Amino acid sequence: MSNMLSTTAEFEQPPTDPIPVFNAWFATAQTVGLPNPNAMTLATVDDNGYPSARIVLLKDFDREGAVFFTNRLSQKGRALAAHPRAALLFHWDILDVQIRIAGAVIETTDAESDEYFQSRRRESRINAWASNQSEPIANRAALEARAVEITRKYHGIEIPRPPHWGGYRVALELIEFWRGDKFRLHDRVRYTRIDDGSYRITRLCP
């Protein structure tokens, strides 16, 4: 038996390691025709304790954490500078599942940010320079004018990664798997990382 929490019966004896479970669920989400199975809600808290949430794309996932990329001067970047902790949420409605993740956040290395930045399409690299993410702008024309200006500036040459653009890695301190039941008696299992790097497993009421 795979014991990957792929059936409600498997929640009775959850695997000790949540990472392969996440990988298996994520792999399934990639087979059901979702346009962005890697889209996840990122929740942060600002320096006034005020929460905010938005979608970002998961770009890497392993034991070290869940990685996304963004503008570090954005609202989320400023919140993470003040409070380097975040929660992530996946909801794949068609599979009737939810995954919650939470943990401390660190910046990815410059090498990792460079590598991902250079893998993006040229237009996306230009727009990373053009958009002062989360700052006001007068209108669409002003935004497009900035993109044209950047396009001219880097015509025929490589576009460097903006210094304020990069990744964040959310540590996998908590991972919770939720599987829907048609009469609302859902299955939930929470993995909480302990000091030796293994996980304490707790079944929760739905």
| Cross-strand bridge partners of residue 45 | 51
Question: Which distant-in-sequence residues (6+ apart) come within 8 Å of 157 by Cβ?
Answer: none
For the bound state, the minimum distance from the C-beta of residue 110 to ligand FMN, rounded and expressed in Å, comes to: 18
Q: Which of 134, 151, 173, 174 binds ligand FMN (CB under 6 A)?
A: 134
Alpha-carbon separation of residue 16 from 8, 61, 135 (angstroms): 16, 18, 44
Q: Which of 9, 27, 32, 55 binds ligand FMN (CB under 6 A)?
A: 55
- Find out whether 184 and 206 touch, Cβ atoms under 8 Å: yes
Q: Which of 4, 56, 99, 170 binds ligand FMN (CB under 6 A)?
A: 56
The reply on whether position 190 binds ligand FMN by CB under 6 A is no
- In the residue annotation, 184 being an active-site residue is answered as yes
Q: Which of 6, 127, 133, 192 binds ligand FMN (CB under 6 A)?
A: 133
For the bound state, the minimum distance from the C-beta of residue 6 to ligand FMN, rounded and expressed in Å, comes to: 26
Which span sits near ligand FMN by CB under 6 A: 13-21, 49-57, 135-143, 171-179? Answer: 49-57
Token output for 30: 């990639």
Nearer to ligand FMN, 8 or 124 (CB): 124
> What is the C-alpha to C-alpha distance for residues 12 and 144, in angstroms, rounded to an integer?
54
- Per-residue binding string, ligand FMN, 75-104, x by CB under 6 A, is xx----------------------------
The reply on whether position 131 binds ligand FMN by CB under 6 A is no
The reply on whether position 57 binds ligand FMN by CB under 6 A is yes
Closest CA relative to residue 77, chosen from 164, 152, 183: 164
Three-class secondary structure of residue 50 per DSSP:
coil
Q: Which of 13, 23, 52, 109 binds ligand FMN (CB under 6 A)?
A: 52
Alpha-carbon separation of residue 184 from 129, 179, 180, 181, 202 (angstroms): 47, 10, 7, 5, 19
Token output for 52: 């905010």
Closest CA relative to residue 45, chosen from 2, 17, 84, 3: 84
Task: Single out the catalytic residue among 122, 184, 190, 203.
Answer: 184
Residues that bind ligand FMN (CB under 6 A): 36, 39, 52, 54-57, 68-71, 74-76, 133-134
Which are the catalytic amino acids? 184
